[in-house]
Amino acid sequence: MPLISRFSRVVLAGVLVCLLAACASPTPYQPALDRFGYAVQPLETDRYRVSFAGNTLTPRETVENFLLYRAAEVTLNSGSDYFALVDQDIDRFTTFRTTSSGFGGFSRFYGPGFYRGGFAGSDFVTSTSRPRDRFTAYAQIVVHRGEKPEDNPSTYDARDVLERLGPMIVRPEES
């Protein structure tokens, strides 16, 4: 009976892991919660640091779009019309996820080394490691009133950005 209950616990743990994995989704457009989402820090009256951090399921392009969208919102909320990107960067954080399959032999410890015994004397395990990237985009913006200068490619009309990127913005689901 103890073997069956131990087996049941292992199966239940596996089912729970699968259910949690099914619930995983890219970071929605939201204020930073548990490290993921957007953040804004006022630096001067017309200068802000804006960032957006995505989880490992959020593509780099989405992180960059959400950053620009937030910069446009900050611009309009400040009573301005356009913003200039004066400094921007994106960080890439890579972790590796390793999965194993197969079955192993029994290991026993004898003195300074290991003895591998059981199942024909070796393990039958394969492992695969896959990189998982997550991105955080940063920008310093300066907000301005009036018409956007046409000769400066690092300026963005805030209303135009909101209109063009708005359909791509994924907000958190209502609970």
Q: How far apart are CA 169 and CA 69, in angstroms?
A: 8
DSSP 120: G
Name the phi and psi angles at 96, rounded to 5: -120, 135
Q: At what angle do helices 158-165 and 60-77 cross, to 10 degrees?
A: 140
Mean pLDDT of the chain: 82
pLDDT of residue 21: 44
Helix (H) or strand (E) holding 84: strand 82-103
How many Å separate Cα 160 from the centre of its chain? Answer: 26
Residue 58, class by beta-carbon neighbours within 10 Å (0-12 exposed, 13-18 middle, 19+ buried)? buried
Q: What is the distance between the alpha carbons of residues 170 and 30, in angstroms, rounded to a whole number?
A: 9
For the chain, 175 residues long, the average pLDDT of each consecutive 10-residue run is: 55 46 80 94 97 96 98 98 96 85 55 49 70 94 96 96 96 82
Q: What is the pLDDT of residues 102-129, one digit of tens each?
A: 665 544 444 455 544 444 445 567 778 8
**Furthest CA-CA distance within the chain:** 79
State the pLDDT at residue 17.
45
pLDDT score, position 96: 86
> Is the Cβ–Cβ distance between 132 and 96 less than 8 Å?
yes
Note the pTM of the prediction, 2 decimals: 0.72
